[in-house]
Structure 1
């Protein structure tokens, strides 16, 4: 009789998992450096100290109590990696990824949400990822869905402008911190050109130099009143590229089927200021006159102006 082979995830779920230690010490307020690795280090400290969190906040946003000061937890990458790998004993990979997406959502309660979700998973004998009766699971799932939609929109709505030195630059301002999620897409799709995607709201970006994609930081005190980069650094053909893109967008549009409400639902208004096709037209749109009208009860009529052209040709 052949042994039954099971997926690794089901083996891990069925295998004995060490129970999370009881949090018997007095609760504490924790602070960290604001990074995801820092938050994972906090999770390790919670169980190491046996002290549940009253709150978990980035160090710059933490508010100390009247009689107790928050405890700052240093970030240790080795500890963070250990916690991240250890979560797979209690969560499948998709559910674990939702924790990272929740962190990137910048929700005001994201740290405590992640702790409660991880703690619930470590104390449950069954998979909790679809236990939507629990408020924490529902909120994590909803934030993950919002992150997926924002990621998909950013991959569709990014518009690059070419500079004189051959760099393709794009500015975005998403609701959530999606740069870490869209990096693989643009690295793969635009592997033959140098590009920079700048998140204006968070003051950092992704830079690809034809070999690797790196995170680049921008000084917070750098003034930026305009969403566009200076025209003096753009490639001289960039205005023509924008005009061609706008012309293409106008000609594939079908005026008779215009539905502004549906259009704004699929392409929200907040994205328009960074889209080439939504900028003011420098050249008036003229539809292509190559359609042949049809009489209600008769043959196809020639295109407008065709008869005059034939007459002139005959007279010549």
Structure 2
């Protein structure tokens, strides 16, 4: 067996799955960027192949289920350690068990994937409520996030539908990319703050008013920091306009 190295893309990962079945068995699958070579492990750099990836994609959808295909994709975009190996084991079991794999909650190959998916899904739903937009001088709505997982794509449909008439940018600061949307259409692109317009004058005034309102309605005697942190973890506070 051999370690497979790939370019970090989902298509590259699926190419490794293809080679696992039709070439040499994989002892592990790793992103080339993060791989630490060892004299004890052999490795192969796998070139992403769209045709191979498409075949594996279709095989997962038909031989396991479309539900599990979506689960695999969500977990792939997580920041969970060794997610590729977790998914390799899950896919191998899925090809044996079919669609009933999602019912095998206690299986050691299923349980960690379920837990990883829940973490991604939970963060998506949390940001539906915690994401804050500001208005730039250009009139574009702009929000900054720093999520644990790579979830921009999962925010797209929700906010594109909610702001159909307003162009907006959701900037994933940790990964230097952004979701850009207008008129219900969206795409994801590389992004930095270097070319970002400044906040509009009205936005600065609204922020000051919002902070004043937030402070004025607070009842100091009923403040419960522990409860606040449970519903709104501290790591999200830096991007909240009311704090």
Q: What is the deviation of 1:277?
A: 1.1
Match of 1:56 among 16, 25, 29: 29
Mapped partners of 2:109, 2:129: distance in 1? 31
SS of residue in 2 equivalent to 1:175: coil
Give the equivalent residue in structure 2 for 1:269: 234
Deviations 1:208-261 (A, max 9, x none): 133521111036xx88xxxxx77xx21110112113333443455455543221
Match of 2:181 among 191, 205, 208: 208
Give the equivalent residue in structure 2 for 1:168: 141
Give the equivalent residue in structure 2 for 1:118: 91
Higher RCO (CA < 8 A, seq sep 6+): 2
CA RMSD of aligned residues (A): 2.3
Mapped partners of 2:185, 2:103: distance in 1? 37
Give the equivalent residue in structure 2 for 1:32: 6
Give the equivalent residue in structure 2 for 1:42: 16
The answer to whether structure 1 residue 246 and structure 2 residue 211 are counterparts is yes
The answer to whether structure 1 residue 148 and structure 2 residue 128 are counterparts is no
Structure 1: runs of 5+ lacking an equivalent: 1-26, 224-228, 279-316
Give the equivalent residue in structure 2 for 1:6: none
Q: Taking structure 2 as the reference length, what is the TM-score of the superposition? A: 0.91
Larger Rg: 1
Give the equivalent residue in structure 2 for 1:78: 51
Distance 1:67 1:263, change over 3 A: closer
The answer to whether structure 1 residue 260 and structure 2 residue 225 are counterparts is yes
Structure 2: runs of 5+ lacking an equivalent: none
Q: What is the deviation of 1:272?
A: 0.7
Q: What is the deviation of 1:196?
A: 0.8
Question: Does the 8 Å contact 2:4/2:44 carry over to 1?
Answer: yes
Mapped partners of 1:101, 1:83: distance in 2? 16
Give the equivalent residue in structure 2 for 1:289: none
Mapped partners of 1:245, 1:81: distance in 2? 49
The answer to whether structure 1 residue 234 and structure 2 residue 207 are counterparts is no
Question: Does the 8 Å contact 2:124/2:151 carry over to 1?
Answer: yes
Q: What is the deviation of 1:137?
A: 0.6
Q: What is the deviation of 1:67?
A: 6.5
Give the equivalent residue in structure 2 for 1:286: none
Higher mean Cα deviation, 143-152 or 119-128?
119-128
Mapped partners of 1:126, 1:189: distance in 2? 34
Q: What is the deviation of 1:177?
A: 1.0
Give the equivalent residue in structure 2 for 1:127: 100
SS of residue in 2 equivalent to 1:277: coil
Give the equivalent residue in structure 2 for 1:139: 112
The answer to whether structure 1 residue 159 and structure 2 residue 124 are counterparts is no
Q: Taking structure 1 as the reference length, what is the TM-score of the superposition? A: 0.71
Give the equivalent residue in structure 1 for 2:171: 198
Q: What is the deviation of 1:132?
A: 2.3
Q: What is the deviation of 1:175?
A: 1.0
